[in-house]
Amino acid sequence: MTKEDNSLTHIAIIMDGNGRWAAKRGLPRSFGHKKGAETVKEITRAAGEAGIRFLTLYAFSTENWQRSPEEVSTLMGLLRQYLKTDLQELRKNNVRIRFIGERDMLDADIVAAMEKLEAETAVNDGLTLCIALSYGSRQEIVNAAKKAAALVQKGDMSVEDIDVKLFSDMLYTKDIPDPDLLIRTSGEQRLSNYLLWQLAYTEFYFTPTFWPDFNKNELTDIINDFKTRERRYGKV
């Protein structure tokens, strides 16, 4: 693929650095999470304005359940607030929302609000905002393998029927294209169990900026950097 052929349809982001942003200012970690939630709104708007069709945000991993009960409670409270108050803005901006992850680990009221938000934005045809919540990529892949094994066991398909396309269709992201670009904030350079299957040919960009300080201007700069890259997909 030449530089001129570079199309940017899907951006995935690991939103990292909320706690360190707060610590640098002598504030509780909860302040960083609240400021980070504001950044989510700004970047969602900016991505839509830039013509991005899919934006996937790593909001809460399955490993994050190991954090202190106080921090988990703060994060779940912010999530409840987002689910209740942001529907009007999502509708206004023609955003469709999707959630991926282990819903059975979440409280029933949160799951109900998630499903309501998905249903009420399903007709929107602008940006699709996909939020990875209680998400772990290894478990996602294990779940897909179990689905395939169950179908083979039932006789609905054979082992020979399993290929990349079929397996991809068993993932949470089955109707979402793979990310073209992954951004991770805060200077860390690892995937942290995020979209391991889907990121096979994704371009990576690591920024030292903490997520609460990430903004539209930096997103624009990263998009422009992406456009200079040559994606070969294993070809010469």
Q: Catalytic pick from 64, 93, 124, 193?
A: 64
Report the candidate in 107, 112, 94 with the shortest Cα–Cα distance to residue 47: 94
Contacts with 71 (C-beta within 8 Å, 6 or more apart), sequence order: 29, 30, 33
Q: Catalytic pick from 5, 6, 16, 94?
A: 16
What span, in angstroms and rounded, lies between the C-alpha atoms of 233 and 225? 18
What span, in angstroms and rounded, lies between the C-alpha atoms of 225 and 70? 39
Q: Annotated catalytic, 16? A: yes
Measuring CA to CA, how many Å separate 159 from each of 10, 13, 107, 165? 31, 34, 37, 14
Q: Annotated catalytic, 163? A: no
Q: Which are the catalytic amino acids?
A: 16, 64
